[in-house]
Structure 1
């Protein structure tokens, strides 16, 4: 079924007979329905498909964050598109012909807001994580009211836990308790600032891998 979004004279999305309507880089286009290929995909194509599947599945739980805070929309490319593209190109390596995520290169957010100064994470008993940083609220475009967020990912369970708006930039510390599900397991942790208006964020620093006690 096709959908006309701008009235009878506007572009459409979807399939009508042997043609398909779509929007590409901000322009309405019509193309013929692609024919199924009888060729077997090459190893390179299969690897790219595996990378795409790995990255899309990994980023899905933080989609709502990246819709707000990953780069700047460009034409028809959404922030989600940008996040997927960045992660495939910069944060995936191939080991024994299988793609793997490189967590210390992953960005949860990407932006030009001033980031953390000397951020450090302390892993304590009971699943308690304490983030500390230094005050840089007078530097660049930083503000004392910028909000601190923490994002944890457990590879074993393939689950994220996001802790949003924990503190302000000038609070210099924030503490969270992760779910019991993570006890005894390793988690990967990132943090990020966003401004009060939710129009800017910093590049999310990777804080390390921690085994939850």
Structure 2
């Protein structure tokens, strides 16, 4: 049964005969009821499904970041969808018929804000990573008030640690402390700047994989 949401001339949600009504990004749409396929998926389709499952599972914890800071939404394609499409197309390789992430090609954020100049990181005792970079607040659209952020991912545990608004661009250093259970674990690290208005970010550089002390 379908439900009319805006009067007799408005859109509807639900199924009516062979069509389905729904709302997509604020617009009322009507589409045909999908027909189940009896044809088994091809190897190419199965591989694409595996890539999709891998990428969606990986990006889910950073969805809120990418919803703000991954490119510009265009038409019906959200920023989160754009992030998934980019990752599937650019940051996945197939090894022995199994898709794997290429971490140094992964982007957590994608944008036009001036990025980091010579960023680096070094492990310290107590599950600490010491981050450093050079002050380039006089370049392009960079500002002294831009906020530095860090994102860590542990493949072994399948978990993220996210550190937002650590300090400003001119500080040139910041320490992040991960939970005790990361001791001895390897983590991948990305950083990104965003402006104080939270409307713009830079492409997130991948700093490498580090073993926490």
TM interval, short-chain normalised? over 0.9
Cα distance, 1:18–1:94 mapped onto 2, change above 3 Å: same
2:193 is matched with 193
Q: Give the Å deviation of 1:126.
A: 1.3
* 2:157 corresponding residue in structure 1: 157
1:183 aligns with 183
Question: What's 2:29 paired with?
Answer: 29
Structure-2 change in CA distance of 1:5 and 1:70 (3 Å): farther
Cα drift, residue 2 of structure 1: 5.3
1:6–1:145 CA distance, 2 compared to 1 (3 A): farther
Aligned-pair distance for 1:181? 1.9
Whole-angstrom CA distance in 2 between matches of 1:4 and 1:79: 30
Q: Gapped runs of 5+ residues in structure 2?
A: none
Residues 90-137 of structure 1: CA deviation (Å, up to 9, x unaligned): 000000001000000000000000000000111112111011000100
Report deviation, 1:32. Answer: 1.7
SS in 2 for 1:62: helix
**Which residue matches 2:174?**
174
| SS at 1:207 equivalent | strand
Determine helix, strand or coil for the equivalent of 1:160. strand
How has the CA–CA distance of structure 1 residues 3 and 197 changed in structure 2, closer, same or farther, with 3 Å as cutoff?
A: farther
For residue 8 of structure 1, report the CA deviation from its aligned partner. Answer: 4.2
Cα distance change, pair 101–13 in 1 and its aligned pair in 2 (3 A): farther
Q: Are the equivalent residues in 2 in contact too, given 1:26–1:75 (CA < 8 A)?
A: no
Match in the other structure for 1:118: 118
CA displacement 1:1-26 (0-9 Å, x = unmatched)? 75656554333454344312245788
- Tell which deviates more after alignment, 13-22 or 192-201: 13-22
The yes-or-no answer on 1:10 pairing with 2:10 is yes
**What SS is found at the alignment partner of 1:129?**
strand
Structure 1 residues 13 and 114: alpha-carbon distance in aligned structure 2, compared to 1, 3 A threshold: farther
Residues 1:177 and 1:31: Cα distance change in structure 2 (over 3 Å): same
In the TM superposition, structure 1's runs of 4+ consecutive aligned residues that sit over 6 Å from their partners are none
Q: Distance in 1 between matches of 2:138 and 2:197?
A: 18
- Structure 1: gaps of 5 or more residues: none
Pair 1:190–1:42, CA change in 2 (3 A): same
User: Pairwise CA RMSD of aligned residues?
Assistant: 1.8
